[in-house]
Structure 1
């Protein structure tokens, strides 16, 4: 199933990142650039770096100049994340371009790639919650509480995976159809962000 492939690659990306556990390290994507696997690995790598940037910026002792640098990095990362999601949806559009939607076909609340985006974030939550559930320096109560949360996250991943597989099956059968709306992000666009276009006056 496609979601099994996603989960395998997301786990691989997270493990690879944590070999050095450094937001400044360069990605070494092991997959062919034209493949969907390459996009999935890239997607999760971006998410993993951003996860740790969000940790860094929440340090109450962080230098304000450093915090601003990290915040702008997170903004760039959000744009890259959105771009990769749209590339993944383009893959699905190509996969199903020959499918004629049925007369009563419906559109889903989100595209396949945006659901896969949530699957990538879940992989990160599971990895880090497992860390907490097995911390030897934490109390038994802490580990037990984190294990309960981990169990819920694992159930959530199973449910989300089933929903994604059902969506792909329905698209392939013409029961649902998909659209890709290019994200209308405004904060990075000098012509749309009033702070940016106001500063030029």
Structure 2
């Protein structure tokens, strides 16, 4: 179809991989979810597969407005610095991260004759955005270990970006770690619901 009616979830930022993505697919006629999944799987390359298909109301909320959190893993490619290296244990690491902030320069358009964008600095707290922090143990292939965390991204408000978390806790850039989005969480009747791509819930 020259103009497919497909709406994807929040786009990945440069340098981040993903194991689970979502899309809204609008059809002209009703089809069984299993048949849709079979058609999609037959058209996708071997490295991609459809985990599940669900029927949703046509006038339902968009994917972007329903996703409220993501779980990321970062495997260090170099020796990390900052609180990741300084923390004595897991509890100490969580406490140190909760006290960190990130600063982001944003442009605000003011109503004047000459509409200029005045840069302002916005401060965001990692304690309000990051939860379920866990260390990833080192392995022979990844001798510096890594970090797993859930990043909350409430719709309609500014949130910390995953690479900002990495820079704040370790001093590493995106090119100095393997940053992967592992799963996403949806807001359903005021409860966070885990996506169908995972079988072992780690967040509720």
Same fold (TM over 0.5): no
Q: Which has the higher helix share?
A: 1
What TM-score do you get using the length of structure 1 for normalisation? 0.21
Specify which structure has the bigger relative contact order, considering alpha-carbon pairs within 8 angstroms and separated by 6 or more residues: 2
